[in-house]
Structure 1
């Protein structure tokens, strides 16, 4: 599994590619976050790419399993002028039951991310924090993961999975640093907004 630092840098690169040649927004795509709805960054504004169909070229760290469905997926990538990046990936499932199963799979992937990363990165360290449920739509849950490579680089990621009806969304935020550096409450507000937007 790639490190979070590579994922953040790749996210910014993918954003440039997506903005230049993104597929047009699907008429069925759910509502997406705007740049100013992400946690405020002290040193930069946020920039948003276009909403595009399918999965992003770089799927968010911790939810990048091969079982993710490309059909019914759409995404938007965000970046700052510094080392902080974010993404939102949404999935429109064929039924509420399918959406429930996908949301559960994504929550499990996020919750197990630190342990998975440690198995693939001997010599590194990782910690995980459950950031709790949110009563919005048909439910949302967020997590924090901090990893430190054997060479000493540190990265922190926040992940949230939310569902409204047959639509599931994942909001990922990441930067260099530790969980103490992460804007947890502001991120939870962002996740709430993302799930509220799924209803249109």
Structure 2
């Protein structure tokens, strides 16, 4: 079963809040296109998993269903994304956008942070049978800074639980968003490894 295909996450996806899920295709990593913009994470740079990560191609524009927990914040222009998945219930996503100025990029990063901080409240308002707990896990000292968040959800009708980790980082005019998710709770999430992934993502944007 691909990542996070629960009744809750299907509903959240329809509302633009869904957690990234794996595409139904390739068993092998798709080759990266020739780089004309910021560098993206590769499969080996994601938190360790019981089965290998597969990285999709870097694709221009926003991901299908927009950015999990932050719909409407990023523009399609100047934006690209990459989806990751494993053979088990784990998925990931990186979305990167290049703004016209560093000031605009800082504004975009702040908008993503506000959306992530408010995601749990938004989920509970839209889905009364869902409990959602969001948490902020601090700032990382890399380039112009990165910030890490989590969202822990429980569907009270089905009894399923999902956990997602998110980060937002900036290097000059470039903002990157990274998401990891699987079924389970925050205690099951590789928070330290995700912070390492985030540092790597931001540090290598313009290597």
Q: TM-score, normalised by structure 1?
A: 0.88
Give, in angstroms, the shift of residue 146 of structure 1: 0.2
Residue 157 in 1 paired to residue 164 in 2? yes
Aligned to 2:175: 168
Aligned to 2:42: 34
Q: Could you report, residue by residue, the CA deviation over 1:78-131 in whole angstroms, capped at 9, with x for unpaired residues?
A: 000011000100001111011000000001111111011000010211111111
**Residue pair 2:74, 2:97 contacting (<8 A) in 1 also:** no
Distance 1:196 1:129 in 2: 24
Structure (1/2) with the larger helix percentage = 1
Distance 2:25 2:39 in 1: 18
RMSD of equivalent CA atoms: 2.1
Give, in angstroms, the shift of residue 150 of structure 1: 2.5
Give, in angstroms, the shift of residue 4 of structure 1: 3.3
Residue 124 in 1 paired to residue 130 in 2? yes
SS of alignment partner, residue 55 of structure 1: coil
Unaligned ranges ≥5, structure 2: 1-6
Give, in angstroms, the shift of residue 60 of structure 1: 3.6
Aligned to 1:98: 104
Distance 1:158 1:177 in 2: 12
Aligned to 1:109: 115
Q: Following superposition of structure 1 onto structure 2, how do residues 70-109 of structure 1 map, counting pairs within 5 Å?
A: 70-109=76-115
**Residue pair 2:73, 2:112 contacting (<8 A) in 1 also:** no
Aligned to 1:177: 184
Distance 1:69 1:171 in 2: 16
Distance 1:89 1:190 in 2: 14
Change (3 A) 1:98 1:15: farther
Q: TM-score, normalised by structure 2?
A: 0.86
Give, in angstroms, the shift of residue 56 of structure 1: 1.3
Distance 1:159 1:192 in 2: 12
Distance 2:101 2:60 in 1: 19
SS of alignment partner, residue 170 of structure 2: strand
